[in-house]
Amino acid sequence: MPLLQIDHNSEKYQQMVQLRYELLRKPLGLHFSDEELARETQDILLGAFEDSKILACCVLTKLDAETVRLRQMAVNKKQQGKGVGNTLMNFAERIAADMGFRTLTMHARNTAVGFYQKCGYRVVGSEFIEVGIPHHVMQKPLR
């Protein structure tokens, strides 16, 4: 399962946006704005592929010199529960650590908190609402 860094506006990026739309936005009746996607030229875009088809993706956004935020984690429904998410998290953490970041943080949907706990993240602070659903900040120091 190739794990790749994705170029913004490439064909793989279009696959990534479609996967994120299907998994993360469409169920909430939301879309991506052009501005939101344009800002992602600044981000690190990661994907897991098989036969050039995307299985899973996530985005890393720099918050400050030491801290990077994971966003838009999504695994194709047919591939969930097979370790793909965990493998992509390990890849994202390795890339973030290699870039010199010391902490990875995220706004985790409550439904995904158990997944991130399995990946070694802990909840920080209280529940809050984002995109209309409950979330928690979670984080983990990077080695």
Ligand X SMILES: CC(C)(COP(=O)(O)OP(=O)(O)OC[C@H]1O[C@@H](n2cnc3c(N)ncnc32)[C@H](O)[C@@H]1OP(=O)(O)O)[C@@H](O)C(=O)NCCC(=O)NCCS
Question: Site for ligand X (CB under 6 A): which residue of 45, 57, 59, 84?
Answer: 84
Is residue 82 part of the contact set for ligand X (CB under 6 A)? yes
**Burial (CB count <10 Å: 0-12, 13-18, 19+), residue 70:** buried
Quote the distance between the C-alpha of residue 89 and its chain's center.
Answer: 8
Is residue 39 part of the contact set for ligand X (CB under 6 A)? no
3-state secondary structure 25-68: HHHHCCCCCHHHHHHHHHCEEEEEEECCEEEEEEEEEECCCCEE
Question: Site for ligand X (CB under 6 A): which residue of 83, 100, 120, 134?
Answer: 83
Is residue 140 part of the contact set for ligand X (CB under 6 A)? no
Question: Site for ligand X (CB under 6 A): which residue of 26, 39, 94, 118?
Answer: 118
Tell me how far, at minimum, the Cβ of 125 lies from ligand X, in Å.
16
Per-residue tokens: 113 = 């908190």
Tell me how far, at minimum, the Cβ of 77 lies from ligand X, in Å.
8
Which residue stretch of 1-9, 39-47, 72-80, 97-105 sits at the interface with ligand X (rule: CB under 6 A)? 72-80
Q: Using CA of residue 59, residue 27, residue 109, residue 131, what is the dihedral sign?
A: positive
Which residue stretch of 1-9, 33-41, 74-82, 93-101 sits at the interface with ligand X (rule: CB under 6 A)? 74-82
